[in-house]
Structure 1
Amino acid sequence: MTAHSLKTQPDPPIGIIGSGIAGLITAQVLLQDGFNVEVLTRDKSVGGVWSKERIYSGLRINSVHGEFRFSAMQMRAPDNSVKTGGRLSGEDVRQYMEDFKEQYLKDKIRFETEVLNIRRGDHGRGWEVLVRDGVAGGTERVSYYSRIILCTGGYSNPHYPVSLTPDAAKAARFSGPVLHSMHFSSRIKDLLACTTPVHSHEAPGAPSIVIIGGGKSAQDSAAYLAREGRPVTMIFDSVDAFLASSTPLPPYIRKSRFLSVMSPHRELRSRLERFLHTTWLGAAIVHCFWNALAMYSFYVLGVSRDSPLRRTHSLFWNTRTNDEGIPSEGSFHALAVSGKISLVARTRVAKFGDDSVILDDGSKFPAAAVILATGYQSTWRPIFDEISMEQLGLGRPHPDLKSPHLKTKYRWDYASLANPPDVPGKMSWSASIYRGLVPAKNILNRDFAVNGAMFSAHHTYVCEVSAHWISAYFRGDVLRLPQSIGEAIDAAQYDGEWVQRRYPHSLNWISESNSSTVAFWTWPQVVDDLLEDMGVRAMRSGGSWASWPFKAINLDEISNLKAERDQANGRREIRA
């Protein structure tokens, strides 16, 4: 091969790992900017958690903001939109993701391709990705990419407590199905087959299907099985908080900055936010608001004062919040309140017994099957060896390794953050991902990024703006970036300290995949940071000094973001 032919060979494509919301919008934005991309997914269809293989009848999205699309393509309103306030089903989201792929990403996705390992190429250039085609039992081969973007989400690998694995069940002679909630859709037939409908006279008092956990996946699984008439019992210590209303919330509440203003951000941009979070009167208003919202939600769904469903996480101090919308007959809370789902609360399952589960107090609970809604673990550990993790700086840094230049004077002595909840065994750690998008240690290389790992109440908006930021970063645009690795590490650790202050509970269950910005209620403020980094207009919903918190935010606001980026970058280059 001649030197001339070597020079004219095109660069390898950018490898995007994951075909969920983050992967799809990242690929589309990078293609707009002229990059060649290839999306790798182990699934048979797009959508990630909303793929055809994972959804099932009755599944609904958990989006407090209520909008789940991209700016480039409108989404058809569901048939019962007026009645439910636009609540989307899993099928609605799946179909939209399929349509988006067909319109923008044809022939750009490799399905049933499992990523086994990612490492830097020879001489530290490019990336070698070991994949297995066809997933289990397929052929292994190496693919080459110029850059990598992880879009696997914060978690996608199921977490099994050591004493509750399928192997532990076998050792205890538990004979029923044991599965993680991630695999619920594919195992529904097994679950229905192992139990008799509760209205049947053939097996009165038959063992329940036991669901361990109180989160969204536990509630969804329990509701589905109860609607199918199966005996279901949820065993949990606490359940997710939730929002509910007697009628659909108006856009100036649900789709505005109102909830974000009532939650403190690491930087308070407006007088209103400073009043609410730095004065005693403002803090009293903030906590009264969140407490009243929780009480109202209990009232709307008929949750009595002595119900285990009152043992929720805090709306203010935690990110584990679901949007239940208006009451519906077949919802989890309606079924639980009516007794069609049994609740065993303030306890944990310690281990399996002989066709039973054994609780912390030693008591046995008969079980026909067990669903482990026990959360997820890092998606990164399995695909990077220790050397690559260290090179990139993807691991969770130890608190003792903080930079001596870290701005420790920022303690956020906000009045609204006074008297945080006590968290037994609270972990201490620091973040490693700058802006939640780039490993701080690798920031000068511009060849690796992450999208979709931020907690957010408006996932599609955050992922789309993040995709533009990443594309500008790869393209070499003039961005507001740290000038050194040390500055990037300091900034990431600054964010880490904020997360510890703002969400003390969350640190005990997030992993390296979420060692970045937590942008739940305050996602509009985080988006503003990213837009300003790119030199384009922030606070796009507009409004006057009095109305801006109530102006509805719409994805159409960012439909021309590429053109704005191009113009801003050109102006800045001319000035330089």
Structure 2
Amino acid sequence: MERNPREESIAVIGSGVAGLITAYTLIRDGFTEVDILTRDAQVGGIWAKDRIYPGLFLNNVHGEYRLSPLKMPPPVSGGDRLGGDDMNQYFEAFASKFLSGKIQFNLDVHNIRRPASGEGWLLDVTNLVTGVQETREYARLVLCTGGSSNPRIPQALSPETAAAAGFKGLVFHTVDFARKLDELLAHAAAAESGPETPSVVVIGGGKSAQDVCAYLANEGKKVTLVCHNLDPFTAGPKPLPDFIRRSRLLSLFSPHIHLRTALERFLHTTWLGKKIVDFTWHGLAESSFKAMNIPEGSPLRNTVSAFWHVRVSDEGVPRPNGFHPLAVAGKIEVLSPAHATGFSEDGTSIVLDDGRTLPASVLVLATGYTSSWPSLFEETTINELGLRPHLAQPNPEYQWDYTTLSDAPPLHPDAEKWSSSLYRGLVPAQNIARRDFAVNGACISPNNGYTLEVASHWISSHFLRDKMRIPQTPEDALKETERAAAWLKRRYPEVPTALNASLTGYLAFWSWPQHADDLLEDMRLPVMRGGGNGLTWPFQVVDLKEIEHLKEERDAKRSKSQI
């Protein structure tokens, strides 16, 4: 007799938002043995206490990064912008309320592999406090380790290279910003110092780089940002109404792998529709520059396109102590486009590709992250699962004749070469029929609470062997993932998704509502839950109430299918 899957053990690796909501959903669905294993000493993942830093604010308005089982209190800072402390307190409250006794801290999981029987999983586990090592066995496994903890450090700018070059300053990645803060401030010179005084040099144009620069400028320190280009952003002179800010409106102007509605088809497949879409995105960028008072010719305008990228910050109403106003006021020096290539021979400066040198007391690397997965798995296992990027297989059958994609930027060399084989960003195609392994948190989305919660139900249904509209064989699943990979190359050609598969297994971003609907369709559940008619649906406010009863809906489907 086939064993009841609810009686089989599950390890959820990671205690960030993805791990917490996945474990919660599995437990509510009746799985009796669910363990959350984490290296950290507290819950929260990137929002754990030892990772948050002063001045850290989310890009999301209040209520967009929460989960349906628990309301979120107002931000401690006032307004609607969530800070790092807000997030940490929320996830600690969630864990305390729903997952007491389920989380095991300070555990380093590694060498994940199949046992000799070929069924289930073996995990080597080391207690980071006691040093005790053991091997555990679980029937199922969910990876919720994300891709924002292992820093990507260019060799030419690494601490080791700096030491070999005799660089006298401090070098570290932003992942260590909170831990290195006191040392950083001790090394940093005052902003009113002369032009030859060493500066804190920050490499990168993303949110963490901008956060570090803003913090130092607000502390009265001399700081210089160096980057090829900056992340785009949205901003306005006053808060946007909810029917714009918290609706599906921007998703309407972003094409998806398939277009569900007549309005989407008009916008993305007709000449007039393209004009409207182009005007919308151009207007969004220009109005944001205007709201921040960024003058023509400023390096702050050297941003990538918000339409073609998944690195977009929501600044809302400009804050005087925010990155852009500080840079416009000259309190942050911005060099862009520019590229740092190494250290000077005298050990006092950073060398740029145009030959310039920047006197530097500290080098802060905001250079991104690498996948968390390679350190977890035995080499043969990660290859058998298909978690590594694989060589892309171009297929002329995969075509999207969308007018809005007709003037795409060049394809990134790494995007052209590599593809991910995660179905929906959740299950490796090679393992889809076994229903004993899944991933949550490898899909880029600006509304993580909503998409991660829907994904947790998808994973639970997958483990329960519910009737789902998904490929039934690895071969069919691989065809679907190849099609999805081809789509991502078309939609986001400048984004090399496979370079950090544990964070970018799938790119939903602006089209996150459509992606969530794909997952709901897989579970044979209703989609486009905000309501409205053929013209008003984009303006309906997205609310977690739409998905708070997914368990009951899935239970009803399951019962009906068993009659």
- Give the TM-score range, shorter chain: over 0.9
Q: Kindly tell me the number of residue pairs found equivalent between the two proteins.
A: 556
Q: Does 1:61 align with 2:54?
A: no
Q: Once structures 1 and 2 are overlaid, which stretch shifts more, 452-461 or 10-19?
A: 10-19
Q: Does 1:105 align with 2:99?
A: yes
**1:214 aligns with one of 205, 219, 225:** 205
| CA distances 1:57-77 after superposition (whole Å, capped 9, x unpaired) | 221012379611100010012
1:14 maps to which residue?
A: 10
What is the CA–CA distance in structure 2 between the aligned matches of 1:359 and 1:388, rounded to whole Å? 41
Q: Does 1:328 align with 2:299?
A: no
1:369 maps to which residue?
A: 362
What is the CA–CA distance in structure 1 between the aligned matches of 2:158 and 2:518, rounded to whole Å? 42
**1:291 aligns with one of 252, 269, 282:** 282
SS of the residue 1:93 aligns to: helix
What is the CA–CA distance in structure 1 between the aligned matches of 2:544 and 2:492, rounded to whole Å? 27
What is the CA–CA distance in structure 2 between the aligned matches of 1:491 and 1:89, rounded to whole Å? 39
Q: Does 1:184 align with 2:181?
A: no
TM-score computed with the length of structure 1 as normaliser? 0.93
| Superposition deviation, residue 250 in structure 1 | 0.9
| Superposition deviation, residue 511 in structure 1 | 2.6
Tell me the amino acid that sits aligned with residue 174 of structure 2: S
1:4 maps to which residue?
A: none
| Superposition deviation, residue 520 in structure 1 | 0.3
What is the CA–CA distance in structure 1 between the aligned matches of 2:115 and 2:471, rounded to whole Å? 26
* Distance of aligned partners of 1:514 and 1:20 in 2 relative to their CA distance in 1, 3 Å threshold: closer
Q: Contact 2:232–2:313 at 8 Å: present in 1 too?
A: yes
| CA distances 1:322-371 after superposition (whole Å, capped 9, x unpaired) | 11110111111111111111111111110122121111123221110111
* Distance of aligned partners of 1:143 and 1:11 in 2 relative to their CA distance in 1, 3 Å threshold: farther
Tell me the amino acid that sits aligned with residue 397 of structure 1: H
Q: Does 1:458 align with 2:447?
A: yes
**2:69 aligns with one of 51, 72, 81:** 72
SS of the residue 2:233 aligns to: strand
SS of the residue 1:452 aligns to: coil
Q: Once structures 1 and 2 are overlaid, which stretch shifts more, 213-222 or 351-360?
A: 351-360
SS of the residue 1:541 aligns to: coil
2:461 maps to which residue?
A: 472
Q: Does 1:171 align with 2:171?
A: no
Unaligned runs of 5+ in 1: 1-6
Q: Contact 1:290–1:316 at 8 Å: present in 2 too?
A: yes
* Distance of aligned partners of 1:92 and 1:515 in 2 relative to their CA distance in 1, 3 Å threshold: closer
Tell me the amino acid that sits aligned with residue 342 of structure 2: K
Q: Does 1:261 align with 2:261?
A: no
| Superposition deviation, residue 501 in structure 1 | 0.1
Q: Contact 2:9–2:140 at 8 Å: present in 1 too?
A: yes
Q: Does 1:244 align with 2:235?
A: yes
* Shift >4 Å, 4+ stretches: none
Q: Does 1:118 align with 2:101?
A: no
What is the CA–CA distance in structure 2 between the aligned matches of 1:214 and 1:297, rounded to whole Å? 17
1:491 maps to which residue?
A: 480
1:314 maps to which residue?
A: 305
| Superposition deviation, residue 274 in structure 1 | 0.2
What is the CA–CA distance in structure 2 between the aligned matches of 1:129 and 1:265, rounded to whole Å? 38
Q: Does 1:42 align with 2:39?
A: yes
2:27 maps to which residue?
A: 31
| Superposition deviation, residue 430 in structure 1 | 2.5
What is the CA–CA distance in structure 2 between the aligned matches of 1:343 and 1:199, rounded to whole Å? 16
Q: Once structures 1 and 2 are overlaid, which stretch shifts more, 357-366 or 47-56?
A: 357-366
What is the CA–CA distance in structure 1 between the aligned matches of 2:334 and 2:63, rounded to whole Å? 29
Unaligned runs of 5+ in 2: none
TM-score computed with the length of structure 2 as normaliser? 0.95
What is the CA–CA distance in structure 1 between the aligned matches of 2:68 and 2:495, rounded to whole Å? 31
2:491 maps to which residue?
A: 502
* Distance of aligned partners of 1:139 and 1:366 in 2 relative to their CA distance in 1, 3 Å threshold: farther
Q: Contact 1:233–1:343 at 8 Å: present in 2 too?
A: yes
| Superposition deviation, residue 533 in structure 1 | 1.3
What is the CA–CA distance in structure 1 between the aligned matches of 2:319 and 2:501, rounded to whole Å? 37
| CA distances 1:241-275 after superposition (whole Å, capped 9, x unpaired) | 00101111111111111000100001000000000
SS of the residue 1:226 aligns to: helix
**2:408 aligns with one of 417, 420, 423:** 420
What is the CA–CA distance in structure 2 between the aligned matches of 1:239 and 1:122, rounded to whole Å? 50
**1:409 aligns with one of 381, 397, 416:** 397
Tell me the amino acid that sits aligned with residue 535 of structure 1: R
Q: Contact 2:198–2:360 at 8 Å: present in 1 too?
A: yes
| CA distances 1:87-133 after superposition (whole Å, capped 9, x unpaired) | 11111111101100100111111111122221112211121111221
2:88 maps to which residue?
A: 94
Q: Contact 2:263–2:535 at 8 Å: present in 1 too?
A: no
Tell me the amino acid that sits aligned with residue 552 of structure 2: A
| Superposition deviation, residue 514 in structure 1 | 4.5
Q: Once structures 1 and 2 are overlaid, which stretch shifts more, 348-357 or 266-275?
A: 348-357
Computed over aligned residues only, the root mean square deviation of the Cα atoms, in angstroms, reads 1.9
SS of the residue 1:382 aligns to: coil
| CA distances 1:523-564 after superposition (whole Å, capped 9, x unpaired) | 111111111111221111111222111000101211111011
